[in-house]
């Protein structure tokens, strides 16, 4: 682990050890032209684009022109080290050559096909996914494709409703499952429902084991998982709880979980939590739907984050990194007894683009790369290296209250000087200043792409490329140190 802010850096050597990194000097005149063109476009965007998406979270939205490996490049060809990789959609790095080639080949071969017909990549991809679940979680099942994450969540909801006849679900406080209407009803943030009328089937939200800020004020060393005791209490009897022991019926069809909370702030539960929760749910006939949309595909060092829990889900939901962020594709995997053709027959759910041939060909290549590689080992090793970097930063900056990580899903919780009171201001400032691109590495202007999550929006959620090199992690160390130091002075 080494930092380089003050030392001179051999740029040629740096570019060799950071695939995708290049520094290009452009003239002041060209830079001024880029700035003017972007200002004009930004003015136009302000008038013609809806601001209902997330672009205007930033003080000044940024245009990017190219990308490679762990880096995005703006119009002035300046690099930004990306430590969030599009909320973990680009696990194999930007412009991954093999994945891009698979997409190009499919464009030349079968660029489009109505989803009511078959194409071989769809079947081969489903086969790889089904086998991967059998290998890792030990269960037989089938795959059903869709386009985006929230749509796959909707498909999972339909499957649960069909199987159990129940429309009420359990989900976690801090959980995020998307922003369509049904996904919003199982996402804990009221802010996503506030302006959209009644959500009669809104989930019952249960505290997540967020041990750094335990909702019950307990200490993880001594609590005996008090939070699970509280869930167990809800199944005692039919008068004040969710379960009728006489009819043996529960009010809820399924519990939607994220093994590591993504938007909730990359919170990693204590060991043994999910195994005990699963036992409680199974005893009461409640299905487990595991949302792997952000944590799947080796983000946590395992293909499925669920593998860390020694338990299996009834339904998995995934998207994002399935195509490395290229042509959108998402899917659910479900146990045979839920999704067999007699239970979930033709037309049960459908979208025009649901198993689009560009998405399936791309995803097939992604799965081949995962099957051929040794990601369990490399991601675990790199994750430990990155976590040490975060611990080093924490030893220098009391404003970092907590750091943690599972594989390359890492968290850094920004606080006041007391190392506990959440500082949203500091996290926001880091997000903005990183995006402005005025940090320096080896004497060159460099930016840093971060994302902020957590219950208090004070957590830097880190999801670097799984292909990140050690040199790039050292670069991240240096840039984060600079950023925290300067942002603290600003506040
Ligand atoms: C855990 C989780 N579930 C669901 C979604 C929704 O996926 P999409 O944005 O593709 O609809 C996301 C997106 O961030 C997510 O992180």
155-201 residue pLDDT tens:
999 999 999 999 999 999 999 999 999 999 999 999 999 999 999 99
85 lines ligand 1 (CB under 6 A): no
Could you read off the pLDDT of 84-140 as tens digits, one per residue? 999 999 999 999 999 999 999 999 999 999 999 999 999 999 999 999 999 999 999
pLDDT at 240: 87
Whether residue 37 is predicted with pLDDT greater than 60 in this model: the reply is yes
Could you read off the pLDDT of 264-297 as tens digits, one per residue? 999 999 999 999 999 999 999 999 999 999 999 9
pLDDT at 481: 98
Q: What secondary structure does DSSP assign to 47-115, as a single string?
A: HHS-S-SSGGGSSS-----EEEBTEEE-TT--EEEESSHHHHT-TT-BT-HHHHHHHHHHHHH-----T
177 lines ligand 1 (CB under 6 A): yes
Whether residue 3 is predicted with pLDDT greater than 80 in this model: the reply is no
Best residue among 148, 262, 315 to mutate for probing ligand 1, ranked by most atoms within 8 Å of CB: 262
Whether residue 446 is predicted with pLDDT greater than 80 in this model: the reply is yes
Contact 172, 188 (CB under 8 A): yes
Helix 120-137 × helix 357-372 angle, to 10°: 40
* Confidence label for 11 from pLDDT (cuts 50, 70 and 90): confident
Whether residue 1 is predicted with pLDDT greater than 70 in this model: the reply is no
Q: Which atom of ligand 1 is nearest to the CA of 151?
A: 11
Best residue among 154, 176, 188, 266 to mutate for probing ligand 1, ranked by most atoms within 8 Å of CB: 176
How far away, in angstroms, is 56 Cα from ligand 1 center?
19
293 lines ligand 1 (CB under 6 A): yes
243 lines ligand 1 (CB under 6 A): no
How far away, in angstroms, is 343 Cα from ligand 1 center?
27
pLDDT at 44: 96
pLDDT at 60: 84
Structure tokens at 202: 């809104």
How far away, in angstroms, is 445 Cα from ligand 1 center?
33
Q: Return contacts of 12-19, CB within 8 angstroms, 24+ apart.
A: 14/442, 14/471, 14/475, 17/469, 17/470, 17/471, 17/472, 18/69, 18/70, 18/71, 18/469, 18/471, 18/472, 18/475, 19/68, 19/69, 19/93, 19/467, 19/469
Q: Which atom of ligand 1 is nearest to the CA of 180?
A: 11
pLDDT at 264: 98
Q: Which atom of ligand 1 is nearest to the CA of 320?
A: 10
Return the percentage of the chain with pLDDT > 90, whole number: 94
Q: How far apart are CA 198 and CA 413, in angstroms?
A: 34
148 lines ligand 1 (CB under 6 A): yes
3-class DSSP state of 302:
coil
How far away, in angstroms, is 176 Cα from ligand 1 center?
7
178 lines ligand 1 (CB under 6 A): yes
Nearest CA to ligand 1 atom 8: 149
150 lines ligand 1 (CB under 6 A): yes
> Between 450 and 55, where is the model more confident?
450
CB-CB neighbours of 150 under 10 Å? 21
């Amino acid at each position: 682990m080494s930092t380089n802010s003050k030392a001179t850096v051999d740029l040629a050597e740096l570019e060799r050890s950071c695939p995708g990194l290049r520094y290009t000097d452009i003239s002041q005149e060209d830079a001024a032209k880029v700035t003017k063109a972007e200002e004009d476009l930004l003015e136009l965007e302000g008038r013609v684009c809806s601001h209902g998406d997330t672009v205007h979270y930033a003080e000044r939205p940024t245009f990017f022109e190219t990308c490679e490996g762990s880096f995005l490049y703006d119009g002035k060809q300046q690099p930004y080290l990306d430590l969030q990789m599009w909320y973990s959609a680009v696990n194999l790095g930007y412009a991954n050559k093999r994945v891009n080639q698979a997409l190009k080949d499919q464009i030349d071969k079968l660029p489009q096909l109505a989803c009511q017909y078959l194409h071989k990549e769809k079947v081969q991809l489903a086969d790889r996914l089904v086998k991967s679940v059998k290998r890792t979680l030990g269960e037989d099942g089938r795959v059903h494709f869709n386009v985006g994450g929230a749509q796959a969540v909707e498909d999972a909801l339909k499957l649960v409703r069909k199987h159990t006849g129940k429309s009420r679900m359990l989900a976690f406080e801090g959980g995020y499952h998307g922003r369509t209407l049904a996904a919003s009803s199982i996402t804990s943030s009221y802010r996503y429902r506030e302006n959209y009328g009644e959500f009669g089937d809104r989930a019952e939200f249960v505290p997540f084991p967020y041990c750094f800020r335990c909702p019950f004020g307990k200490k993880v060393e001594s609590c005996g998982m008090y939070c699970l005791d509280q869930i167990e209490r809800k199944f005692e009897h039919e008068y004040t709880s969710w379960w009728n022991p006489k009819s043996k019926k529960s009010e809820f069809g399924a519990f939607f979980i994220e093994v590591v909370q993504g938007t909730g702030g990359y919170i990693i539960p204590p060991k043994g939590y999910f195994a005990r929760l699963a036992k409680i749910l199974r005893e009461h006939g409640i299905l487990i739907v595991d949302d792997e949309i952000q944590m799947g595909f080796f983000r946590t060092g395992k293909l499925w984050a669920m593998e860390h829990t020694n338990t299996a889900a009834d339904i998995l939901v995934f998207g994002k990194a399935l195509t490395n962020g290229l042509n959108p594709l998402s899917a659910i995997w479900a146990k045979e007894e839920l999704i067999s053709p007699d239970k979930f027959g033709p037309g049960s759910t459908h979208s025009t683009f649901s198993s689009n041939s560009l998405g399936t060909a791309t995803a097939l290549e992604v799965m081949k790369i995962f099957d051929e590689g040794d990601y369990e080992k490399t991601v675990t090793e790199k994750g430990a290296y990155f976590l040490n970097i975060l611990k080093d930063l924490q030893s220098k900056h009391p404003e970092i209250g907590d750091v943690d990580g599972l594989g390359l899903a890492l968290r850094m919780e920004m606080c006041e000087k007391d190392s506990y009171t959440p500082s949203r201001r500091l996290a926001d400032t880091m997000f903005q200043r990183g995006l402005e691109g005025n940090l320096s590495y080896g004497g060159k202007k460099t930016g840093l792409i971060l994302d902020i999550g957590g219950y208090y929006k004070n957590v830097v959620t880190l999801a670097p490329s799984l292909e990140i090199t050690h040199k790039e992690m050292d670069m991240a160390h240096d840039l984060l140190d600079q950023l925290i130091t300067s942002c603290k002075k600003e506040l």
